[in-house]
A and B are shown apart, each in its own frame.
Chain A
């Protein structure tokens, strides 16, 4: 069949080479994109960590004048922004990229070029925000950007413009990635893998992606409004022109609270993979963990005003949001108990990933409990905007999300690279991180209860805060050393390779079924899935009946349907990527257009910071990218 299609003149030949810089710029391989996400966001992690250490150095003693207030404000603004948008979200995205196709038995994501676009936009957006350091005008209005302090009246520099434009650019990347993973997970599953057979990490990715897709537009709106306020003098949040600063808080936290779950759910997914593997038991209560995740994601939309208990919304609103906030602790608790149930009676191997995952549960529990304390508005009146809150969310985001991510790094490193990370260094890394982390953030609890507000660059000598602050600063240093040990471990393990084999941990999910590192096409043969944790049950068929029969409610899913509720046998769905039949493996060809399009978007963004003509300069790149992309076939005819 010959078909006519539109052709766009190519400025460059389509990239073909498998090595060299151009192979990375043109890549559409989810594994390479995942690697790039990981490396870039780890670099930002070091930057954000350095910012934190500078702040800790400043706060180590009373009346310290190491860093002035302006620099301090820039540091905490960029530390928060960096860690949330440039570290934890993209580090999670690195895992999404690497693992989702592998876990669902696909050869790539649903939209490989869109995936590349997400990464490039993320890269340029992150550079855009951090470029403000070079100009010396870094954002200084807090990662929450409260109006009117973030408006031009009180913040005339360019810093917050960088911030708001950068966030909008990053938002585009996040939404594109979120859409991609939703479709990938729904549409690219291996044959036989229905939704209740997909790995729990994939489930959490799906839920996170839904949250990203629905929450990031709200941030985009807040961002656009603040940006027009700053750049064009509109009045959205300008109290002098009738705009209401509280409205910014509503819109920002309306995004901000789902964002919290965007940060933590992927880590929960990682932990839910690591615990069963190292306990050599299936995840306890799989449907409940999934359901709890979904309930958290839904309820997460209705709790935003707990960030605003002291704003003066009145007793009725505070009551309502207090109750909804407390309720969200229930599904979170369900998850923790299910993890404990998973460990119970297991044959637990305490390797590094497992240590990180167990620590995750322990630390996240602390963060959760302190969270319940300020779910109560009367106690929150004392805790809001104090170091108690700082302690709380670092227990959730460092003790939670980051430990989960490190667990995932140690767990999947053999799969990514083919060799182990050194175990002894790993344990040293873990131990230093745990000691440093707790020494840093536990004292912040009573700093907060002793009345130390957040975001102050110095404090007086007579406040009784010096000891705890010093401890926290030392803890920060130890935590930093722990991270250095990790970096050392990466290089050490690379030079002294201990090869891992395809399935080093006796894994449960499909990614362990392929080689380490996986071939470009992921799977030589797309697996046929029959069970949840299919790979495990194929390895240990004798355990199938144990898992599926030890409760009278449960039925073996294979073969004839034993479930009376299902009216007819499900049609066998055929699998994975766009390849038809079992013949040749076709992967999408490489493409430059995502890169070109993202350059255009970056220039467009920079235009809002500099001047309008630059916005115009971005448009040709965007058109070039879009038109070229839409007329470029996924595969060139052979």
Chain B
């Protein structure tokens, strides 16, 4: 607690919200990558030649293939009857997976400086929060009919 406090308030604290100093080719530590935990980071570490952004054409083909598969899966789900209430959540999860795939690998966020992730993620977080609130409010915030 005291540490956190100091990080937040210190004159020259290198607190977590202080912005990074290093040059852009400094790697994210694998266990601290913005997406996925340690196991995920390690797995992709192997696949991506140690997490450098020049991952190789083969890697991009692989990601592209997986994205294509997910898209096919989505379209197939559309034809499947009887998913009921599961349909929308499954689709949302799949599209989030595609979204993350493109952002993390095609847009290099996974390998790039964390500052870029902060930029994009903060907008995503604020956007998702407020627009979810708006959907909720528009759907449910009405006055109780008195007669």
A and B touch in the complex (CB under 8 A): yes
Please report A residues at the B interface, Cβ cutoff 8 Å.
186, 194-197, 214, 244, 246-247, 250-251, 254, 286-288, 291, 298, 301-302, 305, 312-314, 316-317, 532, 548, 553-555, 557, 561, 563, 565-566, 570-571, 573
Contacts of B141 in A (CB 8 A): 313-314, 316-317
How far in angstroms is the closest Cβ of chain B from A474? 42
Cβ 8 A contact of B18, one of A195, A247, A298, A316: A195
Assess the B11–A555 pair: CB atoms within 8 A.
yes
The residue that B11 contacts in the complex, of A246, A247, A554, with Cβ under 8 A, is A554
Contacts of B19 in A (CB 8 A): 186, 194-195
Contact status of A287 and B9, CB under 8 A, knowing A254-B134, A301-B129, A312-B142: yes
Tell me which residues across on chain B come within 8 A of A195, comparing CB atoms. 18-19
- Given A194-B21, A214-B123, A565-B6, A254:B130 Cβ within 8 A: yes
Contact B9 A288 (CB under 8 A): yes
- CB-CB under 8 A from B3, the residues of chain A are 565
| Complex-state Cα separation, A573 to B137, whole angstroms | 47
Q: Which residues of A contact B6 (CB under 8 A)?
A: 553, 565
Note all chain B residues with C-beta closer than 8 A to A566. Answer: 12, 14
Q: List 27 A-B contacts (CB under 8 A).
A: A186-B115, A194-B21, A214-B126, A244-B138, A254-B130, A254-B134, A286-B11, A287-B8, A287-B9, A302-B129, A302-B133, A314-B144, A317-B140, A548-B11, A553-B10, A555-B11, A561-B12, A563-B10, A563-B12, A563-B13, A563-B14, A565-B10, A565-B13, A566-B14, A570-B14, A571-B21, A573-B21
Contact assessment for B14 and A291 in the assembled complex, using a CB-CB cutoff below 8 Å: no
Chain B contacts for A561, CB-based, 8 A: 12
- Known A194-B21, A302-B130, A571-B22; 11 more pairs at CB < 8 Å: A197-B12, A247-B138, A250-B137, A254-B130, A298-B126, A302-B133, A305-B137, A316-B141, A317-B140, A548-B11, A571-B21
Q: How far is the CA of A543 from the CA of B90 in the complex (A)?
A: 62
With contacts A244-B138, A250-B138 known, is A301 near B126, CB below 8 A? yes
Bound together, the chains give a CA A298 to CA B126 distance in angstroms of 8
Which B residues are closer than 8 A to A by beta carbons?
3, 6-14, 18-19, 21-23, 115, 123, 126-127, 129-130, 133-134, 137-138, 140-144
Contacts of A557 in B (CB 8 A): 11-12
Measured CB to CB, the closest approach of chain B to A416, in angstroms, equals 30
A571 CB contacts on chain B under 8 angstroms: 21-23
Specify which chain B residues have a CB less than 8 angstroms from the CB of A251 in the assembled complex.
134
CA distance A160 to B129 in the complex (A): 31
If over half of A's interface residues share one DSSP class (helix, strand or loop), that class is named, otherwise mixed; here it is helix
Q: CB within 8 A of B7: which of A298, A301, A565, A570?
A: A565
B6, B12, B14, B130: most-surrounded residue (chain A CB, <10 A): B12
**Chain B residues near A194 (CB-CB < 8 A):** 12, 18-19, 21
Report the minimum CB–CB distance from A217 to chain B (whole Å): 10
Q: Which 5 A-B pairs have the closest CB atoms?
A: A313-B141, A317-B141, A557-B12, A287-B9, A312-B143
Tell me if A570 and B21 are in contact (CB < 8 A): yes
- Determine if B129 and A313 form an interchain contact, defined as CB atoms under 8 angstroms apart: no
| Shortest beta-carbon distance from A453 to chain B in Å | 22
Contact A314-B12, Cβ < 8 Å, known A214-B126, A573-B21:
no
Chain A residues whose CB sits within 8 angstroms of the CB of B14 once the complex forms: 563, 565-566, 570
Q: Which of B13, B123, B127, B134 contacts A250 (CB 8 A)?
A: B134
Q: Which residue of B lies closest to A210 (CB)?
A: B122
Q: Are B142 and A196 within 8 A (Cβ)?
A: no
Q: Which of chain B's residues have a CB closer than 8 A to the CB of A554?
A: 10-11
CB nearest to B130 among chain A residues: A301
* Shortest Cβ distance from residue B86 to the other chain A in the assembled complex, whole angstroms: 28
Cα A312 to Cα B142 with chains together (Å): 6
Q: Report the nearest B residue to A316, measured CB to CB.
A: B141
Shortest distance in angstroms between B142's beta carbon and chain A's nearest beta carbon? Answer: 6
B141 to chain A, nearest CB (A): 4
